[in-house]
Amino acid sequence: MSSRSERQMVPLAVLLRRELTNEKIEKPDIIHGQANQSKKGEDFTFVKTECQRVPGDGQTTFSVFGLFDGHNGSAAAIYSKENLLNNVLTAIPSHLSRDDWLAALPRALVAAFVKTDKDFQEKAQTSGTTATFVIIDGWVITVASVGDSRCIFESAEGVIYSLSADHRLDCNEEERERITASGGEVGRLNTGGGTEIGPLRCWPGGLCLSRSIGDMDVGEFIVPVPYVKQVKMSTAGGRLIISSDGVWDAISSEIAVSCCRGMPPEAAAEQIVKEAVQDKGIRDDTTCIVVDIMPPEKTTPVPPPKKPGKGVFKGMFRKKTSESSSQIDKDYAEPDAVEEIYEEGSAALAERLDSEYPLCNMFKLFMCAVCQIEMKPGDGISVHAGSSNPGKVRPWNGPFLCLSCQAKKEAMEGKRPSGARAGMSDDSD
């Protein structure tokens, strides 16, 4: 049996060729529903099911689902909802084939999240938002996320996959270390006399999250660089559940899946919100989007078979080590129903926008890789400038950043003082 590390990452072109060689494989039917119970009015959703990769070509459609959980006001969530998709599409060359377009998508999502954050902060508003952004093209799902909302996928075989990361400081040691290395402080609220209460927060600002869009008052080491996961599901389909922390603070992924099994998406979303609210009451905005991805003409979701004697949850943002891979193989000997194409959670732009990539001209030579503005020859600064490992990169190859985006990159890495560092925000979600 091959190890999981050998079979986990499957080249996207290989997966797409499999589709082309099987004439019976068609695009899935996508049915969605959503529900919300509002406490603060700071949760916003974005749904667009008929986007076109090639304008005017109805055969190139893809679907987008976004969830934005705002804090300290709703401005950042509203701005992200209105601008993030356009920023993604702007960052991808328009002439690409479908497989190149999908391969470019993870890098474009990183650029778009950073641009959205940068543009919003220029408005000098202090609110912030989590963002969970899902793009479905055929049987390929790509998810980008910052914050503590969550996206899970239940395959038709009954296995639950996590497609997002949790950037809550309480549960992410790597992010705590990154923030302190960049000049921030991590600790609990001090009430005086040495007594500390509540969750871990980043100071200045008092935010519980290590990544978000906005939040200009808490230091730029709270970064907008998203965790990105791209997978290809089997043609049996499955169900996506995208929810804000109002759900996940109350119920587990397994309960969320099981409490609505067999229900159509709208009823399923309502049931998940109901389960969460009745467990802990309405203490926060509680929002859920359910998306069923099904073989064509299959109108009702079929309850997946139960797998006796083993858990069905697969966390997919763990470290990929040979030791963990070996353990996973022991626990899950059967082939995966979901094939992983891409996973990256680094906060370093030099790694996330790396030019060593199978697409020639992914980033135009005289265009900023983040904000997409045109630069004069010689004005751009390589994203690898100042790299601690210069022997591994060739800065003259790019991609390049404009002066403004280079300054933001340096601030996120703790290489210069960040802008405003006001006191603690009144809603540190």
Q: What is the DSSP string of 148-216?
A: S-EEEEEETTS-EEE-S---BGGG-HHHHHHHHHTT-EEEEEEEETTEEEEEEEEETTTBSBSB-EE-G
The CA-CA-CA angle for residues 187, 188, 194, to 5°, reads 100
E strands in 297-416: 313-314, 338-344, 381-382, 400-401
Which pLDDT score, from 0 to 100, does residue 396 have?
Answer: 61
- pLDDT score recorded for residue 128: 94
Contact 204, 165 (CB under 8 A): no
- Cα separation, 97 vs 57, whole angstroms: 13
- Read off the pTM: 0.83
CA-CA distance, 254 to 267, in Å (whole number)?
17
- What's the average pLDDT block by block, 10 residues per block, for the chain (429 residues)? 47 65 70 94 94 81 96 95 96 86 94 96 89 96 96 94 94 90 86 80 88 88 95 94 94 96 96 90 88 80 46 40 35 58 92 62 69 83 73 64 91 68 41
Residue 332's pLDDT is 33
DSSP class of residue 9?
B
CATH superfamily, region 4-168+209-347: PPM-type phosphatase domain (3.60.40.10)
What would the two tokens of residue 360 be? Answer: 């020639």
Report pLDDT for 311: 37
113's enclosing H/E stretch is helix 98-121
3-state secondary structure of 130: coil
121 Cα distance to chain centroid: 20
Domains of the chain by residue range = 4-168+209-347, 353-419
Please, are residues 142 and 12 in contact by the beta-carbon 8 Å criterion? no
